Amino acid sequence: MATCRLSEEHFLCSICMDVFTDPISTPCGHNYCKACITHYWDTSDVYKCPLCAKIFDRRPDVSVNTFVSEMVQQFRSHKLKEEYEAKTVAEIQQIIQERRLKIQEVKRSVEFSRKYADTVIADNVQVFTSLISCIERSQAELIGVIEEKQKTTEKQAEGFIKDMKQEITQLEKRISELNQLSHTEDHLHLLHNFTSINTSPPTKDWTKVNVHQSSYVGTARTTVSQLEKTLSQEMTKLCDVEMKRVKKYDVDLTLDPDTAHPKLILSDDGKQVICGNVKKNFPYNTARFSPCVCVLGQQSFSSGRFYYEVQVGGKTAWNLGVARESINRKGQITLSPNNGYWTIWLRNGNEYEALAETPVLLPVREEIQKVGVFVDYEEGLVSFYDVETRVNLYSFTGCTFTERLYPFFSPWPNAGGRNTAPMIICPVNHTTN
């Protein structure tokens, strides 16, 4: 059967201006949809051709012209193939291209992760090479942990790549099927089968899939701390390396006045907060803390890592950390991870605690002047540091974050003038040794 090459205008009914449906031919040789010409003659006083106006003595028969009907069917099939192939093939090719680009992105992430892992290993090897032979086991264990995390990253990436390659195979198979179908001359076969392949094969949305790179923060510290007496000097070196590493994730924070308790006084730049004596009259706001004197940062985080530092010197009480978005901000608040708070605090001028489900007393010998807070969202890690001594104060590990996290601050009441020093969000100094 020859391929239909007529244009669409040859198959348009001059009454409805659409492609013929059940075409019939008048004695004068013009074609119309059966329903169109039937209705036309039903509503007319004379039987004439709408196109050439030829009048017929009697109403012509309106049986379907099988030849024209077959030509229309061929035309529709041909047009359907052209439109469908152009659309479907283009969509599939676009998906294939996206998958190939994603594979390259995954490979680059693995390469970067590998280089980062090598850097972490090198930093720690430099520390461990100065230790005696009894500590070499700790070095090997540390490297093993890093390598295991890297293997997990690579295994995850291999799984992504494998799945995307399988998608590409299925998509290329669909293109092959379409190409075969485009060469068929059996329009009935085409009409029967095109519905089964009129959509792209099911594929996964890879736009938000990324290879997670472990931060390794705290890995070396955990290993070496088990040998605290022997490794006190080496522990200091490791904390120096760790502080430099987390400081790379510093963010610019400001306080959110819409969340601040009415007694809190925020600086114009949103970097400082103190508790005053006068409670301001604000309209009711579900976001505002009351009666607890707290405030959140304006910035929030739902992925990645971030670090910030807060000056707390000169205060007798304060609370600092991060909180999830859905925390209760009204009434009395119990600060704990189960309630959406990961914080540490100072009470009575010298009592430092990490507010885990069971509070943990922190062995702080001297007043802390500045606290650093580091969060790794995917790793489920919240770490606190004494910035001046470069000591890790406490880490919440194994956390599961499912909401946005906000920096959390509470300067506590001024206690009759004994706790008037402000909490200050400070710029991070990356040059301190």
Sequence-separated (6 or more) residues with CB below 8 Å from residue 353:
344, 345, 347, 359, 360, 361, 362
Average pLDDT in the 47-73 region? 87
Token code pair at residue 88: 């479907």
What is the reported pLDDT for 378? 94
Over the stretch 168-197, which tens digit does the pLDDT of each residue have?
998 888 888 778 777 777 767 666 666 666
**Mean pLDDT, residues 311-315:** 95
Task: Give the pLDDT of residue 384.
Answer: 97
Q: At what angle do helices 66-128 and 232-247 cross, to 10 degrees?
A: 150
Q: What is the CATH number of domain 8-64?
A: 3.30.40.10
Q: What would the pLDDT profile of 285-305 be if each residue is shown by its tens digit?
A: 899 999 999 999 999 999 999
Percent of the chain whose pLDDT exceeds 70: 89
Whole-Å CA distances, 431 to 243, 244, 253, 428: 11, 9, 20, 9
Q: State the DSSP code for 301.
A: B
More confident residue, 11 or 319: 319
Q: Which residue has the higher pLDDT, 64 or 119?
A: 64
Q: Show Cβ contacts of residue 337 under 8 Å, excluding neighbours closer than 6 positions.
A: 356, 357, 396, 399
Q: Given a cut of 70, is residue 350 above it in pLDDT? A: yes
Kindly report the CATH number that applies to the domain delimited by 249-426: 2.60.120.920
Amino acid found at 92 = I
